[in-house]
Amino acid sequence: MSGGMNGKPKRVPVLKKSECSRCHAPFVAGQTCIEIPQVGLGYSTGKRVCDECFQGILKKTWDDLEVIKVI
Ligand SMILES: [Zn+2]
């Protein structure tokens, strides 16, 4: 397993104070957040979002899939 293409979101521990890159909710050390790999960027710095935003992103993705299904 090498970190390459096809990164998928994963739950990661928050090691230092930061914030959700979508809603800017504060993250504190000790909690977890979801890291979404940024496709197309050379860096492996994923976008970190809170659970709530991740659910929103999942729902949007699902809605998009539903649209595709209709076609
Ligand atoms: Zn958020």
pLDDT, one tens digit per residue, over 12-33 is 999 999 999 999 999 999 999 9
Average pLDDT over residues 43-69: 87
CA of 27 to the centre of ligand 1 (A): 9
CA of 14 to the centre of ligand 1 (A): 14
CA of 32 to the centre of ligand 1 (A): 12
CA of 35 to the centre of ligand 1 (A): 11
CB of 40 closer than 8 Å to CB of 67: no
User: Percent of the chain, pLDDT > 90?
Assistant: 54
Nearest to 18 by CA among 46, 40, 56, 39: 46
Amino acid 61: pLDDT: 87
What's the pTM? Answer: 0.72
Average pLDDT over residues 63-67: 87
